[in-house]
Amino acid sequence: MAPDPKTTRLDSKSLAALALHRFGFGPRAGSLAAVAADPRGAVLAELERPGAGRIADDDLLSGGEAARAAFDFRQERKAQRLAQREERNQERAAQAKAQAKAKADGTAMADGKGMEAQADQAPPADDEQRKRKLGPGIPQQIFLEEAKARFDSALAAEVGLIDRLTWFWSNHFCVSVDKGQVRPLAGAFEREAIRTHVLGRFSDMLFAVETHPAMLVYLDNARSIGPNSIAGRRRNKGLNENLAREIMELHTLGVNGGYTQDDVTRFANVITGWTTVRFKRDPEHGGEFDFNPRTHEPGAQTVLGRAYEDRGIEQGRDVLLALARHPATAQHIATKLVRHFVADDPPRDLVDLLAKRFRDTDGNLKDVTRALVGADAAWLAPRGKLKRPGEWMVSALRASGVTPPDIRPIVQAQNLLGEPLWRPPAPKGFPDDNASWIDGVTQRLDIANQLSRRVGGLVDPDDVAEAALGPLLSAETRQALKRAESRPQALALLFMSPEFLRR
């Protein structure tokens, strides 16, 4: 273990505040005192807590259940639309018949009236209108329940390191609900493929991620077909390299990780057949991961200079394991971790330390996390990183001691702040540097303002400031709070103060 953190110039309570903001989701009332005796120990202790990395909620659906619920829902709505269309057609036919009869009877209406009768028919409501009328669908309901579980976990955590790690890895291995089918799956994906592995082995997380239906759908591998597979020869469809490329470029080796286009194509061939169970074929398991031999490209493939014989799904597992153990992956992951937790320009020694631990432990993420928290360099860096929007909101809620009764305003606020939940702009995920987020800080003022109006009359801003920052509260901010014209304003100023925005 690294030397004592007291080698830094900070006193123990300042270190406690630093620890909670940098490695967790910020203090709640009483947190500072609780961890002040041993801030580093308190952060590390969270790694040892039984059940770490689990969300115990029986109401949340598994990925497969969510996919099937969404599928059933889509089928139902489709049937409704068809029925409505049929109804309208019949009405029109009946009217036309009545008009024709009236005309034939010699009591034809004037042309104008005929037109009017036509206009009376309500035009079919456009999609948006119809959706509003029906209310949020099953996929959105699942999305919101998952969002609530995610925020609740971060709000309830002692320190929040496990949740911070979950958010980090979820962004590293991101999926996007921009793709409609991913919407009901994103939460389950994070719980099943990410959260359970944040203290496990990287290769296990990698395999869980790349075989999860959310990822297979998001990066199109579910539709990728080996050109020489049974299905490929029959149909004129073929390979989709999207997932294979992003695994190498983003998930493991990094963009300069030394792979070639040929490696990507070979690897894409390896993971053909990694898809999801079709709903109609198997109603019990529809939407779950499936290895389909009929779409899997047969034969050995050479990836990064090593030949992999065709062992069905194991061929892909072999390649993933090799990628996980590649030194470029260790460097890539270490760099991103340090950039996230410590500084935009990651201290090189710290990155190397983490990369070595990653390699030495065969990607044991608990050990890597221990190395990060244990390193003095991780504590000595100035508190310059801007908290990401969601992280900042959670820390503000924790500081004010309120649990929002409704998750929707939180989700909407995250949209407004440019970090829509499970909807990054690209497979690369949200950026993780100050330059990307600083302009949006002014938007945070509106959120701080709203939150403060909601809780500002119920809490004492001085107490909140003391609990949230303790000795890290600057004299200037202290004075600004004291001079505020109302408690809500004081609270908004606190949440917008540099020492609360940065960690």
Partner 1 sequence: MTRHLSTRRDLLLGSGALFAWASLPRLARAEGRDPRMLVIVLRGALDGLATVAPVGDPDWVRLRGDHALRLDGTAPALALNDMFALNPAMPNLHRLYKAKQAAIVHAVATPYRERSHFDGQDVLESGFTRPGATDSGWLNRAMAALEPAKGIRVKPQQAFAVGPVTPLVVRGAAPVLSWTPPRLPPAADDTVMRLLDLYRHTDPALARVMEERMGLAAIARADGMSDMKKAAPLPGGAARVAAFFAEASGAAARFMAQADGPRVGALAFDGWDTHAAEGVTQGRLFSLLGALDGAIAAVETGMGPAWKDTAVAVVTEFGRTARVNGTDGTDHGTGTVALLAGGALNGGRVIADWPGVGETALYEKRDLKATTDLRAVLKGLLHDHLRVEETALAASVFPGSAAVKPMRELVA
Q: Which of residues 61-100 bind partner 1 (CB under 8 A)?
A: none
C-alpha 381/C-alpha 21 separation (Å) is 13
Token pair of 233 as six digits? 């020869």
CB of 76 to partner 1, least distance (A): 25
Site stretch for partner 1 (CB under 8 A), options 234-242, 325-333, 374-382, 483-491? 483-491
Residue 243 CB contacts under 8 Å (≥ 6 apart), including other chains: 210, 215, 216, 219, 220, 221, 224, 268, 271
Phi, psi of 302 (to 5 degrees): -105, 120
CB of 87 to partner 1, least distance (A): 30
C-alpha 427/C-alpha 219 separation (Å) is 8
497 touches partner 1 (CB under 8 A) = yes
476 touches partner 1 (CB under 8 A) = yes
How many residues bind to partner 1 according to rule CB under 8 A?
Answer: 38
Using the minimum distance from each CB to partner 1, give the nearer residue, 283 or 498: 498
Residue in the block written with tokens 């500084």: 343
C-alpha 34/C-alpha 91 separation (Å) is 71
- Range 14-17, long-range pairs (CB < 8 A, 24+ positions): 14/470, 14/471, 14/472, 15/39, 15/40, 15/379, 16/42, 16/470, 17/468, 17/469, 17/470, 17/471, 17/472
489 touches partner 1 (CB under 8 A) = yes
Using the minimum distance from each CB to partner 1, give the nearer residue, 52 or 480: 480
- Identity of the residue numbered 436: S
457 touches partner 1 (CB under 8 A) = yes
**How many residues belong to the chain?**
503
Using the minimum distance from each CB to partner 1, give the nearer residue, 322 or 402: 402
480 touches partner 1 (CB under 8 A) = yes
19 touches partner 1 (CB under 8 A) = no
How many C-beta neighbours within 10 Å does residue 289 have? 20
127 touches partner 1 (CB under 8 A) = no
454 touches partner 1 (CB under 8 A) = yes
C-alpha 485/C-alpha 501 separation (Å) is 22
Judge contact between 143 and 177, C-beta under 8 A. yes
CB of 371 to partner 1, least distance (A): 30
Site stretch for partner 1 (CB under 8 A), options 24-32, 167-175, 335-343, 480-488? 480-488
Binds partner 1 (CB under 8 A): choice among 181, 493, 500, 503: 493
CB of 485 to partner 1, least distance (A): 3
Binds partner 1 (CB under 8 A): choice among 231, 477, 500, 503: 477
C-alpha 392/C-alpha 496 separation (Å) is 10
Determine the Cα angle at 389 with ends 386 and 395, to 5°: 85
What is the per-residue binding string for partner 1 in 379-418, x denoting contact by CB under 8 A? ---------------------------x------------
CB of 471 to partner 1, least distance (A): 15
Eight-state DSSP code of residue 235: S
Binds partner 1 (CB under 8 A): choice among 455, 464, 472, 473: 455
Q: What is the secondary structure of 450-497 as a DSSP string?
A: HHHHHHTTTS-HHHHHHHHHGGGS-HHHHHHHHH-SSHHHHHHHHHHS
CB of 177 to partner 1, least distance (A): 23
CB of 415 to partner 1, least distance (A): 13
345 touches partner 1 (CB under 8 A) = no
What is the per-residue binding string for partner 1 in 422-451, x denoting contact by CB under 8 A? ------------x---xx-xxx-xx-xxx-
CB of 416 to partner 1, least distance (A): 9
C-alpha 38/C-alpha 44 separation (Å) is 10
Site stretch for partner 1 (CB under 8 A), options 12-20, 213-221, 260-268, 487-495? 487-495
Residue ranges in contact with partner 1 by CB under 8 A: 406, 434, 438-439, 441-443, 445-446, 448-450, 453-458, 460-461, 474, 476-477, 480, 483-490, 492-493, 496-498, 501
